[in-house]
Amino acid sequence: MQAITTFTQLLDAFKAMPVKKRVALVSPDDSHTLDVLRRCLEEKLAVFHVVTDNKTGEEFSAIAQKWAGDITVHHCDSVDDAARKGVELVRTGQADVLMKGTINTDNLLRAVLDKENGILTHGNVMTHATLVEVPSYDKLILFSDAAVIPRPNLEQFTNMVHYDINICRTLGISQPKVALIHFTEKINEKFPHTIDYRTLREKASEGAFGDAIVDGPMDVKTACDAHSAAIKGIASPVCGNADILIFPNLEAGNTFYKTVSFFCHAKMAGIICGTQAPVVVPSRADSTESKFYSLALACLCQTK
Amino acid sequence: MQAITTFTQLLDAFKAMPVKKRVALVSPDDSHTLDVLRRCLEEKLAVFHVVTDNKTGEEFSAIAQKWAGDITVHHCDSVDDAARKGVELVRTGQADVLMKGTINTDNLLRAVLDKENGILTHGNVMTHATLVEVPSYDKLILFSDAAVIPRPNLEQFTNMVHYDINICRTLGISQPKVALIHFTEKINEKFPHTIDYRTLREKASEGAFGDAIVDGPMDVKTACDAHSAAIKGIASPVCGNADILIFPNLEAGNTFYKTVSFFCHAKMAGIICGTQAPVVVPSRADSTESKFYSLALACLCQTK
């Protein structure tokens, strides 16, 4: 398989999937989410379980009527019920992917994380991965975590690396290159993340992540710009060529997300990993395009 | 005074300064720093004390000979001696600005911070401010801290805000708008920086920072993109219009720095604040242009 290096190729792969995925879509009450729903139906890319909290309006009714064969509608009385229903559809194997519309992310994640009826696999760590296409880089970048874990510990970092490498493999990258991001290049006990980074490097060299290269700490520029790395005298196959950026905390991950989104007009897609099925939790300010890319990524990554 | 909104205007202001600043330049052994030196001399923008650690070569000798009237050369036997000499020139009032060439930043800052012979003003907090011109924003952005303080406490945050507001005033911005950056918009005890942010907002509303607006927590996109803020329903004169971004930690500040630098091809200038004179500590990977802008900013901000 040729590696996917642009969102255009990602969509091509989504469209070429032999079996349509079944998406549980909770509360599609905003125009962006309805646009995504309509596009998927028009292009026959997925089938839907739509869970409404009785706020959906005429626009949704028209869609539901037109594509009645590809939409099953479930009515709920509250957003919390809607969240639980969406999660149940995944847990009982009726849906392959979970996506939210206007419902609050917190509401949905509460249902996802519910000990009895949630969809967090036993022992798994839930974290967020964002795929970004930014001009001035010749391939896609996948990074974690811009949304879920404020201060990752070693176990959480290890899971992030695992999930992100798996996503890269799904995208056809045979040997993903993982940059562990920090402001320093030195392992330093004053900055505990760098100690975790050393352990991750050791695990990688012992083969824990399969065919992948893990290096760091290094900064974002060193990870993505070969010229900067050369000036600094850092030689690593990761430098200037990273596929994956692991951020030391949510403040840094979120800053990267918002900066490339606004200042670089990057194309972005995000999914939650570590659950029984990929979960798409777009932020309110995300564009239709970004929501569509996220759903495409989720469907491609649902490999059961 | 018309506010400076581009680096071209910043250079115009630098060139228009009525009195040439005296720059202590330590170890200009690399071509980028020598280019900055040559340009300042050719355009008669500053006069120099150059402190060498006996590694400077023929290129510097030629410059020193050509502009002998505008350069005083001080020979030192080691980089540590050179650092101490540079600091001494500032402390004794012979230089207005301190800048490093190839000497390690750590070496220079050790001399700057020396209790007996350093130039840290009593009680002052040393922090770093970066000015950035990024396409897709219609003015300059000043931000802290991408280089010095890993985990700012309230006192350090307060100083950052003070320094950055002062720099903005120097640039002609009468009412600087300060965004306190975080991944959340809520004050939350789980994230202690947000508690400090609340205090900073209170101080601002009591007039501690003069005519300025301080708001947050908010993310980078909300601070710089009015459209995102509107979608999120956040109404603040800071949203979409920030002059200053205060980052919660060095990982986030450094991520912003490296991301706009590499992915947005931003123009950048950086100085250290809180010392008796502005200190310029370019990173090895900085361009000639960036080093030149930094020196211009330092000279403009030296207002004694």
Residue in B112, B141, B114, B111 with CA at minimum distance from that of residue B129: B141
Which of these ranges, B160-164, B168-172, B183-187, has the smallest mean pLDDT?
Answer: B183-187
B286 → chain A, closest CA residue: A228
Mean pLDDT computed over every residue of chain A: 94
Average pLDDT over residues B148-157: 95
Distance from CA of B58 to the nearest CA of A (A): 22
Average pLDDT over residues A265-294: 93
The pLDDT score that the predictor gives to residue B17 is 94
User: Token pair for residue B121?
Assistant: 């003003």
Task: Show the beta-strand stretches assigned E in A154-277.
Answer: 177-181, 213-218, 244-246, 267-273
Distance from CA of A292 to the nearest CA of B (A): 18
Q: Name chain B contacts of A254, Cβ cutoff 8 Å.
A: 182-183, 219-220, 252
Q: Do B183 and A248 touch (CB under 8 A)?
A: no
Q: pLDDT tier at A1 (50, 70, 90 boundaries)? A: confident
Q: Name chain B contacts of A260, Cβ cutoff 8 Å.
A: 259, 263
Residues 6 or more apart in contact with residue A254 via CB below 8 angstroms? A146, A147, B182, B183, B219, B220, B252
* Residues A299 and A292 sit within 8 Å (Cβ to Cβ): no
Q: Do B228 and A285 touch (CB under 8 A)?
A: yes
The pLDDT score that the predictor gives to residue B122 is 67
In residues, how long is chain A? 304
Average pLDDT over residues A129-143: 96
A153 in the Ramachandran plot: left (φ > 0), alpha (ψ -120 to 50) or beta?
Answer: beta
* Residues A127 and A163 sit within 8 Å (Cβ to Cβ): yes
Q: Name chain B contacts of A132, Cβ cutoff 8 Å.
A: none
The pLDDT score that the predictor gives to residue A122 is 67
Q: Which of B227, B259, B284 lies closest to A231 in CB terms?
A: B284
Q: Which of A183, A248, A254 lies closest to B183 in CB terms?
A: A254
Q: Which of A219, A220, A250 lies closest to B183 in CB terms?
A: A250
Mean pLDDT computed over every residue of chain B: 94
Q: pLDDT tier at B133 (50, 70, 90 boundaries)? A: very high
Residues 6 or more apart in contact with residue A82 via CB below 8 angstroms? A26, A27, A51, A52, A53, A76, A103
Task: Check whether the bond before A282 is cis (ω within 30° of 0).
Answer: no
B248 → chain A, closest CA residue: A251
Q: Do B251 and A250 touch (CB under 8 A)?
A: no
Q: Which of A220, A232, A262 lies closest to B220 in CB terms?
A: A262
Q: pLDDT tier at B121 (50, 70, 90 boundaries)? A: confident
Q: Do B263 and A191 touch (CB under 8 A)?
A: no
* Each residue's pLDDT tens digit, B237-258: 999 999 999 999 999 999 999 9
The pLDDT score that the predictor gives to residue A283 is 83
Q: pLDDT tier at B169 (50, 70, 90 boundaries)? A: very high
Residue in A275, A244, A256 with CA at minimum distance from that of residue A112: A275
Asked whether the CA dihedral A23, A24, A30, A34 is positive or negative, the reply is positive
What is the amino acid identity at position B116? Answer: E
The pLDDT score that the predictor gives to residue A52 is 92
Percent of chain B at pLDDT exceeding 90? 85
Q: pLDDT tier at A304 (50, 70, 90 boundaries)? A: low
Residue B123 has pLDDT above 80, yes or no: no
Percent of chain A at pLDDT exceeding 70? 99
Q: pLDDT tier at B284 (50, 70, 90 boundaries)? A: confident
Q: Do B221 and A261 touch (CB under 8 A)?
A: yes
Distance from CA of B292 to the nearest CA of A (A): 18
Q: Which of B231, B253, B259 lies closest to A285 in CB terms?
A: B231
Q: Do B263 and A264 touch (CB under 8 A)?
A: yes
Q: pLDDT tier at A57 (50, 70, 90 boundaries)? A: confident
**For chain A, which residues lie within 8 Å of any Cβ of chain B, measuring from their own Cβ?**
134-137, 146, 150, 181-183, 190-191, 219-222, 224-225, 227-228, 231-232, 247-256, 258-266, 284-285
CA dihedral B254, A247, A211, A297 (to 10 degrees): -120
Q: Name chain B contacts of A227, Cβ cutoff 8 Å.
A: 285
Q: Do A285 and B260 touch (CB under 8 A)?
A: no
The pLDDT score that the predictor gives to residue B304 is 58
User: Token pair for residue B293?
Assistant: 């802008």
Q: Do B136 and A252 touch (CB under 8 A)?
A: no
Distance from CA of A193 to the nearest CA of B (A): 11
Q: Do B150 and A190 touch (CB under 8 A)?
A: yes
Q: Name chain B contacts of A250, Cβ cutoff 8 Å.
A: 183
Distance from CA of A70 to the nearest CA of B (A): 31
The pLDDT score that the predictor gives to residue B296 is 98
Average pLDDT over residues B224-230: 90
Q: pLDDT tier at B49 (50, 70, 90 boundaries)? A: very high
Average pLDDT over residues A91-117: 94
Q: Do A284 and B136 touch (CB under 8 A)?
A: no
Average pLDDT over residues B253-280: 95
Q: Provide long-range contacts, Cβ within 8 A and 24+ apart, for A286-289.
A: A286/A32, A287/A32, A288/A31, A288/A32, A288/A35, A288/A36
Average pLDDT over residues A244-273: 96
* More confident position, B123 or B217: B217
Average pLDDT over residues A84-98: 97
- Crossing angle of helices B154-170 and B192-205, in 10° steps, is 50
Q: Do B255 and A247 touch (CB under 8 A)?
A: yes
Q: How far is CA B264 from the centre of its chain?
A: 19
In residues, how long is chain B? 304
